[in-house]
Structure 1
Amino acid sequence: MKKLLPLLILLLGIGVLVGAYFFIKGRGGDEESEEEEVIEVSFDKRPVTTLAPSADGHWLKLKIEKYEGLGETLDYELLYQLPDGRTQGVPGTITLAKESEIERDLLLGSESSGKFRYDEGVNEGTLTLRFRNSKGKLTAKFITDFALLSGTDKLSSIDGKFSYNLSKTSKEFFVVMNTFGAPKGYSAEPSSGPYGVFSSAEGALAGKASLSGGKVEAFMDGKWSSLEDGKSSDIGIFMATP
């Protein structure tokens, strides 16, 4: 019996490792299939999501509106790339019933004991929103790339489908991103967009929006307006409609 004991221990260890492997693999498969099974959300029910940079570019203010009926909780994750190739993340979870409006200040860096370390040279990243029901099941998922720009007059989306050319070069910080949904009042659902341009700057920032797929509309000062030749008196949310 003593001779068999080491063999039994070895077999037991192998069994535990094999079981753990298939358990983890099964969980991974469940998560993948869960994401694949998410129902497409109609455009009018998609959340309006913005990232506005601070004046020094070290913070992004996340704001989410029009999210009713999408779930009970929200997991958000901001990922961004550093010049040396490393990826940093800012995650968070929100219980939607406890929030009258969603706003979070996301630090591009880290904080410890009241001291801040800022990540420099951040130019782009991704924002992911995952809505879940009371049982934790995924009910909706949205993801967008974002560009963080400064010292330029050309503000372009990461996918290259949208650009906003300022009348003059600005030293302010800007974020260009897809906003998922759009404020109510648009003439038709978009054939392209919506894309948002958000800034730390005060005052209007005139320019020209370029977006294919139809006439370009812009949401500024609480209302939608059609742009002639893409010319706009300010930044905001833009989309092309048929």
Structure 2
Amino acid sequence: MKKFLPLIILLIGVLVLVGVFFFLKGRKSESSEGEEKVPEVAFPDRPVTSLTPSNDGHWLKLKVEKIKVKAKTLDYELLYELPDGRTQGVPGTVELSGVTKVERDLLLGSESSGKFRYDEGVKEGTLTLRFRNEKGKLTAKFTTPFALLSEAKELTSVDGKFTFTLDESSDAFFIVMETFGAPDGYPSGITTGPYGVFSVSEDISGVVSLGAGSVHGYFSEEWTKLDSGKSQNLGIFVSTPQ
């Protein structure tokens, strides 16, 4: 019996490893399938979302407006990468009973007993919104990468499809991101966008590059067609064929 004991132990170990592998694979598959079955949300019903950095770049103000998705709760998750390769996250959940707008201040760092530690050198990240019904099932999900920029003249989205070139260089902090939805009154036939550029000060001029066609910007609660992409303000932008 002792002769076969090492072989028996080896076989048991292999079976355990195989079992763990298929268990984890099954859980991953179930999670992926659940996420894939989330219904598509029509563009007019998508929330308008923004991240605005503070003057020092240590905080991001999250705004989710025009919430039309039927849901009981909203889960938000901000993920960003540090220069040393570590990934940090800022999660949260909001009850949506009768709510059409959500605002939260998100810290790029940590807080303990009133003392703050700030993460420096953050350049990019992702923002994910998950809407859930009473049973916790996903009713909608939106994800966008964002770029956190400072001391730059060209403010470019992570996917490279959108650029806001400042008339003058600025040492302010800016966020460039997709906004999921667009404020009401947007032009018909949107081909690219919406993309947003956000900072503490909105009165910053520049030129928008957003593919072929006409560029439209949203400022002071109204949409304006830009002449040759020239914009007097930061805001939300889309392009149309004409």
Return the offset for 1:38: 1.4
How far apart are the structure 1 equivalents of 2:15 and 2:170? 63
| CA-atom RMSD in angstroms | 2.3
Q: How many residues align?
A: 234
1-structure distance, mates of 2:216, 2:12: 66
| Aligned equivalents of 2:123, 2:65: Cα separation in 1 | 25
Q: 1:189 to 1:132 in 2, by over 3 A?
A: farther
Q: Match of 2:86?
A: 86
Moved more, 16-25 or 82-91: 16-25
Taking the aligned partners of 1:70 and 1:169, their CA distance within structure 2 comes to: 42
Q: Is the Cα–Cα contact under 8 Å of residues 67 and 99 in structure 2 kept in the other structure?
A: no
By how many angstroms is 1:27 displaced? 2.9
1:129 aligns with 129
Q: Structure 2 stretches of 5 or more lacking a match?
A: 1-10
Call closer, same or farther: CA 1:48–1:19 in 2, change over 3 Å.
Answer: same
Q: Which moved more, 1:62-71 or 1:85-94?
A: 62-71
**Contact residue 192 and residue 213 of structure 1 kept, 8 A:** no
Shift of 1:23: 4.9
Q: 2: distance between equivalents of 1:213 and 1:77?
A: 33
Task: State the secondary structure of the residue aligned to 1:97.
Answer: coil
Aligned mates of 2:190, 2:171 — CA distance in 1: 31
> Do 1:43 and 1:189's aligned partners in 2 also have CA atoms closer than 8 Å?
no
Whether 1:206 and 2:218 are equivalent positions in the alignment is no
- What amino acid maps onto 2:89 in structure 1? G
Q: What secondary structure sits across from 1:32 in the alignment?
A: helix
Number of the residue aligned with 1:156: 156
Mapped contact 2:65–2:100 kept (Cα < 8 A)? no
The aligned residue for residue 235 of structure 2 is 236
- C-alpha distance in structure 2 between counterparts of 1:198 and 1:94, whole Å: 23
Partner residue, 1:171: 171
TM-score by length of 2: 0.89
Counterparts of 1:187 and 1:20, CA distance in 2: 53
Describe how 1:190-205 pairs up with structure 2 within 5 A: 190-201=190-201, 204-205=203-204
Give 1:67's aligned residue: 67
Tell whether the 8 Å contact from 1:191 to 1:213 is kept in structure 2 after alignment. no
User: Which residue identity does 2:175 align to in structure 1?
Assistant: V
Counterpart residue type for residue 205 of structure 1? I
| Aligned-partner residue type, residue 32 of structure 1 | S
Distance 1:96 1:12 in 2: 50
Deviates more, 1:35-44 or 1:93-102: 93-102
Q: What is the aligned partner in structure 2 of residue 97 from structure 1?
A: 97
* Structure 1: unaligned runs, 5 residues or longer: 1-10
1:71-111 CA-to-partner distances (Å, cap 9, x unmatched) read 22111110001111111000111111164530000000000
Q: Secondary structure at the match of 1:28?
A: helix
**C-alpha distance in 1 between matches for 2:105 and 2:92:** 11
Does residue 32 of the first structure (1) align with residue 32 of the second (2)?
A: yes
Question: 1: CA distance between counterparts of 2:131 and 2:14?
Answer: 39
Identity, % of aligned positions: 61
| Whole-Å separation in 1 of the counterparts to 2:97 and 2:19 | 39
Shift of 1:21: 5.8
Cα distance, 1:14 vs. partner?
A: 9.6
Sort the Cα spacing of 1:12 and 1:96 in 2 relative to 1 into closer, same or farther, 3 A.
farther
Normalised by the length of structure 1, the TM-score is 0.89
Distance 2:25 2:197 in 1: 41
Q: Does structure 1 residue 138 correspond to structure 2 residue 129?
A: no
Once the two structures are TM-superposed, the CA of residue 24 in structure 1 deviates from its matched residue by 4.4
- Partner residue in 2 for 1:187: 187
- Residue pair 2:182, 2:194 contacting (<8 A) in 1 also: yes
Q: State the Cα distance separating 1:151 from its structure 2 match.
A: 0.8
